[in-house]
Structure 1
């Protein structure tokens, strides 16, 4: 099944943090507390784990470039993370809530206003996908919609009709992209201290993207906002196990065992 707004779109949601955390400085003093242009008040649905908010880490005293480097290091070293994204794609609202780890496991949902909601679970090289009735009506023929209603479609990630849905589940792939576009030409502006869901943070901004970095505990990037596409990403549950488990067999259909390709509606 090739959904236009599939799990692969979660990589787009992470582009902001990957791009900004790779930015360099042009050598100008970026230690001022000027509020980044286009930034919005930072807030998030969840805070970082309480154990990471015990003491100040001193990043608010650093330059924007130095704060960016620290946030980039935390992202590159993370074993797991959960992110929630709100934004638009081709004018349609999209909401993503996905937890993923370095082992390739993930669990979460992708919802688009016009298409519907899809739940995705990935454990290693196996994936389960459960779409709501609205999505099946939009993307599949009536026979497939009836067959798959209320069930998970499952198969290996090598299955072409499912593999595209799991690209955004690869934390290691996202981490590998950090720093790839660093040409050292961007100035990173540091803003005044703020809070993200009660946790102290400092915003840094470049290329229209603002990242709020924790100033207590580890300097995790807590929230990313893109003024160009009005998207926002909240990062939580750093290094926590992904809450994913295989659905019951009686609630699944193995797509590789469907003998009639026309029945799949893919």
Structure 2
């Protein structure tokens, strides 16, 4: 999941990039106000953690997850074009995604048993190869070879590639942020940074397993302007679309057209 920043990797198919975390802050955490005598709540305990402790807990929780769904968007910094992404992936390499690139069209891709398949919408295929090709290959899936310019789409399917949380050995700095709520769940923010990938704000679940609930590009006033991804459906099996007999085409047709 892609050096492209964020949850993510390059969407080479359309020439867009998905951007998808900290000095050791011994005093960088935000402490929640005490509500009274007795044991602190789980949220209060999380709010007392340093940034590096939050990052470590997030890595541990994400590393135990068998699958996850990611839903969000990326805005290309040069063109301003927004790309919406829905993706579900698991540790076995199974993956199913839908991508809507503003002004370009929609497409889907799946990865199963090491094979990457790509299905452009009729509108996108028509733009790439004309109406005749769009009609001939309507609802067909193209098998993408490893040498294709499309092949990097598969990077989004690798959970180990998730910035900061996917790779436990990567070097990031982390500074504790603020408590909040994401999707109705109590959360704790952590500001992440690396020389290669840049700055991100992550929101971790403040109760239960401290999995990432959201990642946004940048800090403070820049948060959410160019990239936001929500993480849901942890440990829910990935459902791949049906591939009827004869629906898979050998050949990198759309990529050749784009070239």
Give the TM-score, by structure 1 length.
Answer: 0.72
Name 1:76's counterpart in structure 2.
Answer: 63
Cα displacement (A) at 1:245: 4.2
Name 2:213's counterpart in structure 1.
Answer: 222
**In structure 1, what is the Cα distance between the partners aligned to 2:210 and 2:243?**
36
Q: How many residues align?
A: 225
Residue pair 1:3, 1:139 contacting (<8 A) in 2 also: no
4+ aligned runs moved over 6 Å, structure 1: none
**In structure 2, what is the Cα distance between the partners aligned to 1:242 and 1:110?**
17
Name 2:8's counterpart in structure 1.
Answer: none
Q: Using CA pairs below 8 Å that are at least 6 residues apart, which structure has the higher relative contact order? A: 1
Please state which structure has a larger fraction of its residues in helix. Answer: 1
Give the TM-score, by structure 2 length.
Answer: 0.74
Q: Counterparts in 2 of 1:83-232, with a 5 A limit?
A: 83-89=70-76, 90=78, 91-149=80-138, 151-155=139-143, 157-158=145-146, 160=148, 162-174=150-162, 177-182=167-172, 186=173, 188-191=175-178, 193-207=179-193, 208-227=199-218, 228=222, 229-232=225-228
Q: What RMSD over aligned residues (CA atoms) do the two structures have, in Å?
A: 3.1
Summarize the Cα distance change of 1:75–1:157 in structure 2 as closer, same or farther, 3 Å threshold: farther
Name 1:52's counterpart in structure 2.
Answer: none
Residue pair 2:174, 2:190 contacting (<8 A) in 1 also: no
1:3 aligns with 2:10: no
**In structure 2, what is the Cα distance between the partners aligned to 1:128 and 1:94?**
19
Please state which structure has a larger fraction of its residues in strand. Answer: 2
Q: Does the residue aligned with 1:218 lie in a helix, a strand or coil?
A: coil
